[in-house]
Amino acid sequence: MGEQEERQARFERLYDQASLQVLGYALRRADSPEDAADVVSETFMIAWRRLDEVPAGDEARLWLYGVARRVLANQRRGHQRRERLNARLRDEVAVVSARAMAERPAPDGAVMAALSRLDEADRELITLVAWEGLDRDQIATMLGCSRATIRVRLHRARRRLARLLGEEGHHGPRPSPSTSTQFTSIPLPAQRDGNERFSALAGARDERTEAR
């Protein structure tokens, strides 16, 4: 048996002899069974990397307990850092959300109903233009496709939205199929500036980009 085979065999014996004991140690101390399983996995990964340091006999189990103890401590510190970050993010989101709710205009029910009836791909394109302010090149980069593809998809999405707006009884100006510079201005459901509009059907930004 070669050196690598001997190393593998020794590790397997160690795992067979001590894994349930290490799991029990972790289960009694971790916050969840999933966390305990992670502790066992990390402990034996360390044991594999440092196999030459693992003592023989029953001391191997004690060595593994020591490793598991340190893994648990690191895990708890990680959880605490995530909790602090989550708490800070929750506070920031609450402040921003409250400000947006106070400043935004009332949503246009017909617009939101029409948006909800678009399929996910069309709705994503429309809102990337309207809410994130992206142009075709930026959307193409984000989605990993060509600008020409985005142009066709966005044109079709706007036409479908225009049709749905008509079905929902929206009474704003309608686009002419032959006049790409026309657009329907629709109030955004939430914006920092209450005067911003949702140019959903044919944006002036796209026309300026096309002219270049």
Question: In terms of domains, do 22 and 97 share one?
Answer: yes
Any idea which of 97-111, 124-138, 188-202 has the lowest mean pLDDT?
A: 188-202
CA dihedral 28, 33, 36, 40 (to 10 degrees): 120
User: Is it the case that residue 3 has pLDDT exceeding 90?
Assistant: no
How many domains does the chain contain in total?
2
pLDDT above 90: percentage of residues in the chain: 52
pLDDT at position 76: 93
pLDDT at position 190: 42
pLDDT at position 108: 67
pLDDT at position 193: 42
CA distances (Å), origin 99, targets 103, 149, 151, 192: 6, 37, 34, 8
Q: What is the DSSP letter of 52?
A: G
Question: In terms of domains, do 91 and 113 share one?
Answer: no
Q: Which two tokens stand for residue 153?
A: 């998809």
Q: How many secondary structure helices (H) and strands (E) does the chain include? A: 8, 2
pLDDT at position 15: 95
Residue 182 identity (one-letter amino acid): Q
What is the spatial distance between Cα 96 and Cα 88, in angstroms, rounded to a whole number?
12
Q: Assign 11 a pLDDT band (cuts: 50, 70, 90).
A: very high
Q: In angstroms, how far is the first alpha carbon of the chain from the final one?
A: 71
Question: In terms of domains, do 114 and 193 share one?
Answer: yes
Question: In terms of domains, do 11 and 71 share one?
Answer: yes
Question: In terms of domains, do 8 and 52 share one?
Answer: yes
